[in-house]
Structures are given as structure tokens and as C-alpha cells.
Chains A and B, each alone.
Chain A
Amino acid sequence: MLNLLLSRLATAIPSVLGVIVVTFLLTRLLPGDPAAYFAGLAATPQAVAEIRAKLGLDKSLPEQFLVYVQDLLSGNLGTSLTTGQPVTADILTRLPASAELTLLALFLAAAIAIPLGVLAAVKQGSWIDHLCRIVTTAGVSLPVFFTGLLFAYVFYYLLQIAPAPTGRLDAFLTPPPHRTGFYLIDSLLVRNTEAFWGALAQLALPAASMAIFSLAPLARMTRGSMLSVLGGDFIRTARASGLAPRTVIFTYAFRNAVLPVITVLGMVFSFLLGANVLVETVFAWPGIGLYAVNALLTSDYAPVQGFVLTMAVLYITLNLAIDLLYGLVDPRVRLDA
């Protein structure tokens, strides 16, 4: 198992190196001159040149790259010019915000989609199958920002059930002390129930709108995978042997059908984590996607590089975790084969 882990990690190294080089080059290729942007309103060519020198942008590309790699090795991802903070600190506060939202959304989606998919497959052609079809079609055809806006409008603006979309916590509540960065957990750790409910209330709408979107791939994959497994010989045998339908479906069919569902779950998670910029915008969520997009708009190199690098490392870890999970779920999957 340890060997397996190490060999998998070794294969990840070239991808990480590639990501470092590519992000460095890409950000330099971006249009826009950060020095001119940050020189401010009263920019003279001289002031711009001063700022360019301060940012180290007057050096040659290989020199800049060398500086970048040296900084990386010491754990320094540079400083964001938009927030004025070290990128590492920014990412450490923003990643948990995105992760908390994404995990909750994914949990919601899986809790609905997987049973729905299983039932739809078992009762193929029944009303529940049609429901599954409607839900999934609606889910994919409603872009996240649209459901987000709609939810904010209906539940906050019209009905006033939901709290104001002002970020992770109501403006008049104090955030819990930073332990994990997940407000739900941190607030429980210090027994601040007001902050807990406040954070949960703020999470509800963005998580629901993201969940609706991710319902579709999960439910479809579960249904499809279940259908093919249910058609298998061993299921017919199990049924013929008089096993209870419940046992057949959950113990035999579902365990065999769950592999592709896990794959999709991983994909949806990594997609949502970085790509939910629009939800983050609508709900003023201080997440990592919004951070990266803002940085991109101002040609702020360091956060963009930091973001891509963090995401790359995260994806690699996630893939590794999923691979290892395969082995646990289905012992027949031999990864080293």
C-alpha cells in the first residue's frame, strides 16, 4: 500500500512541475501591464517604471522564473496586489470557504441524487424514473448563477426567509476563531451556536443552488450504472436464489455500481471548487474562484499562479484519494495492475 502510494506520488511530480512552468508563462503572456495598473491615477511613465522595478517586472523572464521558483521552495507564493496580502494567507482563508460550501453542496446533491438514481433504475419507467429525468434535465439546464440569483431574489428579497447574501456570516455576527477555517466546525468548537446557525443560514442558498446543478451528473451516473449492473447475470442469480430484493439491490447491485459514481463525485467536487465563481459572486462568498478571477482581471500574477498551483495539487491529491478509495470499495480493482 505504501509502495503504491509512493509510486502514485512520483507520477504526480512531473505534472506539478509542468503546472509551475505553464502558469508562470501563461500569466506573463496575459495582456495588461500590472505596473501601469497599479501606478494609479497620476501615472507618469517614470512612476510606472518605478513600480515595475519594485515588482521585479523589469528583469528578464528566466530571471523572474528563478526568483519565482526560489520563493516557491520557501513556501512563498508572492503577494496579491489586489488584497495586499501574501497569497498563501489569502488561499488559506479562502480555500476553506469554498471547500465548506462545495462539500455541503455535494453532500446535499449526493443525498438526493444517489437514492433517486437507484430508485429510478430499480423502478425503470415508473413515475420516479420520470421524476429523476425531469430533475436531472432541469438541473443541467439551469446554470448555477441563474438558480443562485433566483434563490436570492425569491428567498431573500421577496420572502425574506433567507438572510442577506453578504458572505459567510451576517455582518453583525463575529466569525468564530480560526481553527479549521470551516465556520460550521469552528463555531461548534467554541460552542458559539449563534455563529453556527448564522453560518448555516448563509450556506443554505448557495449550497442549494450548487447542489441542484451537481444533482444531474450524479443521478444519471447512478441510474446508468445501476441499470447495467442490474442486468448482470449475478443479479439474476441472486434473485433466483430468493434473496430479499433489498439485499440484492444494496448489497450486490449498488456496491458494484458505485465505482463510476465515486469518479463522478470526485470530478464534480473538483469542478465545483474552482468553478463556482458565479455563485461566489452572487452570494458575496469569499471563495477561491472569485479570488482567482479578480486577480486575473487586474493582471495580478501571484494569486493566479498560486490558485492554479493549489488547484493542481488538490486535483492530484483528490485523484489519488479516489484511486485508493476504489481499492477499498471494490477489492477486485488492482491499481498496480
Chain B
Amino acid sequence: MKRRHFLKSSTALTAAAGVTAPAIFSPLKAQSRQETLLVVAENTPNMMDIHGVGANRPAYEVSWNTHDRLMTYGVKKDSTGQDHYDYSKLEPELATDWNVTPTSATFKLRRDAKFHDGTPITAKDVKWSFDRAVTVGGFPTFQMRAGSLEKPEQFVVVDDHTFRVDFVRADKLSMPDLAVPVPVIMNSELAKKNATTADPWAMEWTKNNLAAGGAYKIERWQPGQEIVYVRNDDWKNGPMPKIRRVILRIIPSAGNRRALLERGDADISFDLPAKDFSDLKGSPKLNIVGTPVENAMQYIGMNVKQKPFDNVKVRQAIAYAVPYQQIQDAVMFGRAIPLYGGASNKAKGTNWPQVHGYKTDLARAKALLAEAGYPNGFETTLSFDLGLGAINEPLTLLLQQSLAQIGIKAEINKVPGANWRGELLKKSMPMITNTFGGWLNYAEYFFFWCYHGQNAVFNTMSYQNPAMDALIDKARFASGADYDAAVKGFVDMAFDEVPRIPIFQPLLNVAMQKNVTGYRYWFHRQLDYRQLAKT
């Protein structure tokens, strides 16, 4: 008996029992099913506002689909023929046209664009929103700064439909940074109405209310359970989306998410274990797409401020002891891009991440250890984030076994997810496995966070090397041959000094029904409903 039959017969049953049946019948439902996308996810968004304190990754998805930005990124095909956003191409969203000079960028805004409440979108809304992003502190301010967008004076209203950004310095990330999820355009009048003196930017109100003009509106929001979006039929800032309604349901159990997809009840999901994606690859019913996550890697980090990892020979020894292939096969089920086993430790280009020359070679590892003065190995602790235990746990176990063969006794330390950030900030763990990805796909962006002597939290190795810093700083503002030389320089150095051992580049996996088309990979790794369609 099918669910629909059950519902039908139960409706008949109630009708017989003398209760009036409502006028909702299955054909109508079937039609709405065709225009509705059912997304199943593990985690719930915690607000609608990407500027909010502690907005989580699912909240980025809400913000991305309900708000507009000035510009968006173009699209290209990746090597497998899948749609992939194109970071080299900025395309109009609210701005129809822009003119960039070395000192400023002037944007022409679309004249007929309106917010969800019908108010026209004007340059003062853009200024208010950007002022907010650089003022409220925390993540949004931080992300704006990555593009040298630092203070409200930089944002100028020329007239209602012309907006200018003045640059404080020539930074090639300024323009790309205006198309990331943070600089959203908000309805300033609506937000101001709901602001208080204690909360001039209406941060409280926007947690649960949209002041937006994007392609989707929110019809129903049940925190922790579901979000129902409806298309904004008056949207002007891009091609009209095909999907009328999007239902995002939170399904905490991974097994059930898989079952829902396999049974055809759910349309699309990111949140399955690597093994499930690997199993489902051959499924006739589902489409599995895995896109390498740009500028991201899983790595082993060693704290160079502590013995014995202050010795480069020890670090190299470990790099020769990592069981790379076993990790690739048994932990990732092949669904990752290997970053090991290249011909040499010389940079192969300016792309990042790229393969290094280390491979599993225990004899060599032993020899290096002996040279470093640890012929009998040593004892250490290997820590990982339990929040990502599905990958980290088997990975560390394999590494532990392999290290034991060269005499290193590594005790495994599982850190609860809630604790992990705090532990990273302390920079006291001797050896960890971790993952990191940068939104903007530039090698120097990654290195700025992860290798630079400013010692940001993601430089989990506390690696500080003035020669490397000089190259990173140079690459940030250089171009042409100078840029290439700088990037290759710091990549060589990173592989040779090896404070972090890249293992693999993860894939962003998605499973969807065969009739779902238009899926596009985005650097923010959330779903963009606007391009999806059901056939």
C-alpha cells in the first residue's frame, strides 16, 4: 500500500465516519510536488542574517537565496562537465554595470528592482548594508576586511541608482569580495524601523525576519525543523528561478537521509557520509556529483614550536610515514583528490592545493628520524575534532599504526566539536589532523591564513618564517611573473619545510534525483536554489 493510497483510504474512512473531508486531493499535491524541491539536511540554520553573531553555515544558505548582492559569479563547466561557479568572471546581480578604476568602483544599480515588501532598492540601501557589514564586528567585518573593505567612508551614494566603493589600497580581492555571501543588500528602511538605540543595526530583528529582496521569500520557518521558501515572482536581479517552492527539512539521522533519497521522497542532499556517496554512485535512481572543494585540504599539522616537531627532519619523517593510499581507500572510499606522491617537492604551478612529493616510505622515514636524533622514535599526542569524527577517527587510527612502525607512539586525543576551536586557539596540541578551506580561490589567500607569521588561528602549526611571509605578502599585491614566482616560492618552501602535510583535497558531494537539473558548485558550499530545476 502506497502512502498516497493510505491517505486516500483514510480520507474515505473519515468521510464515512461523518467528518467533513477537506478539499485537498492528491492530483493537486502531485502537481505541487513537481514544482517543489525537497532538500534534506543535517543541521539547522540558526538565523536568517549572515551578519548575525554566530550565524552558522546553513544560515549562509538562507541568506544567499533570499538576498541579492551587487554582483555574482559567472558559471563554467568543470572537467567532468558539471556547472561550476567561475571565480574569474563577475556578473550583474543588483548592479547592471560597473566601472573599476585603480582607486574606486562605480556601480549602476537596476532601476526596477524591489525588496520583498515592494520598496525600490536604491544606493542608500546598499550603503547601509555595507556600513553594517564593516561595523558590526565578528565574521562579516572580518570577511569584508579580507577585500580591504574596512570603513563606512569607503561606501558612497552618488545618486539613487549609482553607488561607489572607494578603495583604501589596490587589492585584487576587493571586487571578488563584493560577490561573496557577506555583502548582502538589505532593506534599510524596514530594518531601521525595527532597530533600537541599543541595537542600531536591527541585529535582533533580522535574526528571524527578512529585510531582503532576493529570489526567494520565506513562507514558513520552524527553527530546528524546516524552512519553506517560495519564489519571489517580482524578482528582477537574475533569470527567474524554475522552482516555485523549496522545502528544507532537518533530518538528523544520516541513514534516513539516504533512505529518503533512495525512496525518491527527498530531492537533494549534501549531508551523507563518504561511504554512502560511494555506495550510491552506481545507483540508477540518483545522481551523485562530487566537486573538489576549492582551496581546501585535509592535513596533518605539527606544532613547530614544540619538540620534536621543531626539527624539519622529524616533520619530513612523518610526511614519509603517512599511509596516504590507505586513507584514500579506506577512509574516503576514493572520494577525494590525492595530494601526495608527486614527482618532486617543487611547485607545479600557481594553483593550490597541489600534490607534494612525499609518499609512504617507512624506511626513509626511519632514516630521517635517526638523522634527527630520534632513532627509537618518541611519544606524542595526535588530536582531532570529534565533530568530524567520521573521517578523522579512522584517519588517525591508520596514522597511529603507521607511526608505530617507525617507533613513534602517538596517543589519540579526541576533542569534542564544541571544544575544537578553543583548543586550536590555544595552539598547544603537538600534532593534529584538520581540514581547512578558503572561500576565495587564491593560493596566497590560503597561505595568508595558514602559513603566515601573523599566526592566525588556522596556522595551526604556529609556523613562522620571515622568508615565507615576504613571499606571501608579495603575492597578495603582485601580478604576472612576479606573482607566479612568489607563489611557487612559498609552495616550495611549504613542501620542503612541511609543517603541515597535505593528504587530500575533499570533494563536495551531493546526491540528487535524476530529474533534478542545474546543480552548480559554489565556493560557499551551500545550495543555490535559483539555478535548480525539476524535469
Against B, the Cβ 8 Å flags (1 = close, 0 = not) of A154-182 are 00110011111111101110110000000
The answer to whether B208 and A284 have CB atoms under 8 Å apart is: no
The answer to whether B418 and A298 have CB atoms under 8 Å apart is: yes
What residues on A are CB-neighbors of B266 within 8 Å?
A: 164
The answer to whether B22 and A160 have CB atoms under 8 Å apart is: no
B251 partner, pick from A47, A174, A284, beta carbons under 8 A? A284
Contact A298 B225, CB 8 Å, known A51-B54, A149-B255, A194-B22: no
The answer to whether A32 and B142 have CB atoms under 8 Å apart is: no
The answer to whether A39 and B252 have CB atoms under 8 Å apart is: no
- Complexed CA–CA distance, A161 and B234 (Å): 41
Against B, the Cβ 8 Å flags (1 = close, 0 = not) of A172-208 are 1011000000000000000111101110010000000
A193 partner, pick from B6, B14, B422, B457, beta carbons under 8 A? B14
Against A, the Cβ 8 Å flags (1 = close, 0 = not) of B19-63 are 111101000010011001010100011110000111110010000
- Complexed CA–CA distance, A334 and B146 (Å): 73
A249 proximal to B (CB < 8 A): no
Residue of B24, B45, B142, B223 with most chain A CB atoms under a 10 A cut-off: B223
The answer to whether A90 and B38 have CB atoms under 8 Å apart is: no
Residue of B20, B226, B252 with most chain A CB atoms under a 10 A cut-off: B252
- Complexed CA–CA distance, A175 and B33 (Å): 17
What residues on A are CB-neighbors of B56 within 8 Å?
A: 40, 82
A31 partner, pick from B46, B220, B249, B419, beta carbons under 8 A? B419
B193 proximal to A (CB < 8 A): no
The answer to whether B1 and A161 have CB atoms under 8 Å apart is: yes
A257 to chain B, nearest CB (A): 36
B446 to chain A, nearest CB (A): 13
B224 partner, pick from A83, A156, A162, beta carbons under 8 A? A83
- Complexed CA–CA distance, A176 and B109 (Å): 42
The answer to whether B260 and A32 have CB atoms under 8 Å apart is: no
Chain A residues numbered 39-76 whose CB sits less than 8 Å from any CB in chain B: 39-45, 47-48, 50-51, 54-55
A290 proximal to B (CB < 8 A): yes
- Complexed CA–CA distance, A167 and B220 (Å): 15
B89 proximal to A (CB < 8 A): no
B137 proximal to A (CB < 8 A): yes
Chain B residues numbered 249-268 whose CB sits less than 8 Å from any CB in chain A: 249-253, 255-256, 259-260, 262-263, 265-266
The answer to whether B223 and A84 have CB atoms under 8 Å apart is: yes
Contact A82 B263, CB 8 Å, known A47-B139, A193-B19: no
A10 proximal to B (CB < 8 A): no
B465 proximal to A (CB < 8 A): no
What residues on A are CB-neighbors of B207 within 8 Å?
A: 84
What residues on B are CB-neighbors of A283 within 8 Å?
A: 256
The answer to whether A172 and B29 have CB atoms under 8 Å apart is: yes
Q: Is the interface of B mostly helix, strand, loop or mixed?
A: mixed
Q: Is the interface of A mostly helix, strand, loop or mixed?
A: loop
A116 to chain B, nearest CB (A): 28
B418 partner, pick from A80, A291, A297, beta carbons under 8 A? A297
B438 to chain A, nearest CB (A): 9
A286 proximal to B (CB < 8 A): yes
- Name which residue of chain A comes closest to B264, CB basis: A164
A147 proximal to B (CB < 8 A): no
The answer to whether A83 and B7 have CB atoms under 8 Å apart is: no
Against B, the Cβ 8 Å flags (1 = close, 0 = not) of A105-144 are 0000000000000000000000000000000000000000
A47 partner, pick from B1, B7, B137, beta carbons under 8 A? B137
Against B, the Cβ 8 Å flags (1 = close, 0 = not) of A243-254 are 000000000000
- Name which residue of chain A comes closest to B265, CB basis: A164
- Complexed CA–CA distance, A32 and B423 (Å): 9
A82 partner, pick from B20, B32, B44, B137, beta carbons under 8 A? B44
B416 proximal to A (CB < 8 A): yes
- Complexed CA–CA distance, A71 and B478 (Å): 54
A284 partner, pick from B2, B146, B256, B262, beta carbons under 8 A? B256
- Name which residue of chain A comes closest to B10, CB basis: A197
- Complexed CA–CA distance, A297 and B416 (Å): 8
- Complexed CA–CA distance, A282 and B258 (Å): 12
Contact A48 B425, CB 8 Å, known A166-B251, A191-B22: yes
In the assembled complex, 25 residue pairs joining A and B whose CB atoms fall closer than 8 Å, in A order, are A33-B418, A33-B419, A37-B418, A39-B138, A51-B54, A82-B224, A85-B208, A153-B259, A161-B6, A164-B259, A164-B263, A165-B253, A170-B3, A171-B249, A172-B36, A193-B11, A193-B19, A193-B20, A194-B21, A194-B22, A197-B14, A280-B252, A290-B252, A291-B224, A297-B418
**Known contacts A43-B421, A90-B223, A149-B255; can you find 14 more A-B pairs with CB under 8 A?**
A34-B418, A45-B457, A51-B54, A51-B138, A80-B46, A93-B222, A166-B251, A171-B226, A175-B222, A193-B19, A194-B21, A280-B252, A282-B253, A298-B418
